[in-house]
Amino acid sequence: MHLTRSTARTTTTKAAAAAHARSASEPCHPALARLEGTVRALRAWSRFCGGAAGGSSSSSGYGLALLEALLAALGETLATPRAAAALRDAGDQALDALLALADAYGTFGTAMLAARQSVAGARAGARRGDDAAVAASARARRRTEKELRHLAAAMRHTAAVPGSANAAGAEVIGVVAEATVAAAEASAVIFSRCAAMSPAVSAVSSHKWLARLGVAPATSKVAPEMAASALERLEELEDCIAGLESGSEKVFRRLLQARVLLLNIRNPL
């Protein structure tokens, strides 16, 4: 289901209000409390990093780790009898949101693989003195950046808003809705930051960079240590992207697990 940001904020505000209105006779389940804590942590990260300029693989990696923690807590919550009772007759919005997120991370994983390959191609081409290979790798990286920006835009409008099935289950439904909204918002930030993570790779085919790498002639001699430094930066970037690949795979698996749990709740054997 696609919603505007204002709708998502309204929904999560209502969910927070429901949590504050929790009955003393029905204390919060530890799994639900953990889920609420991971939602707060992920949203704090999204607010901080969403307004920051540029991109950083380390901050994106941390965002993926926070998202994985949220999804682990979501899985624990969905495994409780209380969640099963609350969500059994709820709408399909949570299922739809988890599917949209899983699809997004499937695409993101493929994009990270392509990005890593483009950086590896640029590094190998530079070492061979193959300027055409370096330029081709830079073009491939730009295509990946464009795909990530589109993915981020889609995530900004993706959120699940399950309806309340009954008064007893409203709290669980609200927190699950808040978790999916937080996951979608954080994913938009992660994808955007990854798209902006490596302007050096997009510019690696420029005359200045090719000269620094020793691939193209320059008007002045390039110091060997500068070429070595440029190659080292590409190698470090390749390693960082590999780390993001690993993090995205973990998130993807958590999303599939959460969706299976929810499907089992909706369609018990």
pLDDT at 28: 66
Higher model confidence: residue 171 or residue 166? 171
pLDDT at 122: 80
pLDDT at 79: 94
Arithmetic mean of pLDDT, 6-18: 49
Closest to 9 (Cα-Cα) out of 156, 211, 170: 156
Closest to 123 (Cα-Cα) out of 239, 243, 246: 239
Q: Which of 43-57, 73-87, 115-129 has the highest mean pLDDT?
A: 73-87
DSSP secondary structure letter of residue 26: S
Assign 227 a pLDDT band (cuts: 50, 70, 90).
low
pLDDT at 162: 44
Q: What is the pTM of this model?
A: 0.78
Closest to 68 (Cα-Cα) out of 193, 262, 250: 250
Q: Would you state the structure tokens that stand for residue 148, as one six-digit string?
A: 């990530």
Residue with tokens 């699950």: 176
Strand-pair partners of 190? none
Instruction: Give the pLDDT confidence of 183-207 residue by residue, as tens digits.
Output: 999 999 999 999 887 554 544 444 4
pLDDT at 53: 53
Q: What share of the chain is helix, strand, coil (3-state, %, to 5)?
A: 75, 0, 20
What span, in angstroms and rounded, lies between the C-alpha atoms of 25 and 81? 17
Assign 250 a pLDDT band (cuts: 50, 70, 90).
very high
Assign 56 a pLDDT band (cuts: 50, 70, 90).
low
Closest to 216 (Cα-Cα) out of 107, 160, 96, 135: 135
What are the residues whose beta carbons fall under 8 Å from the beta carbon of 253, sequence distance 6 or more? none
Assign 165 a pLDDT band (cuts: 50, 70, 90).
very low
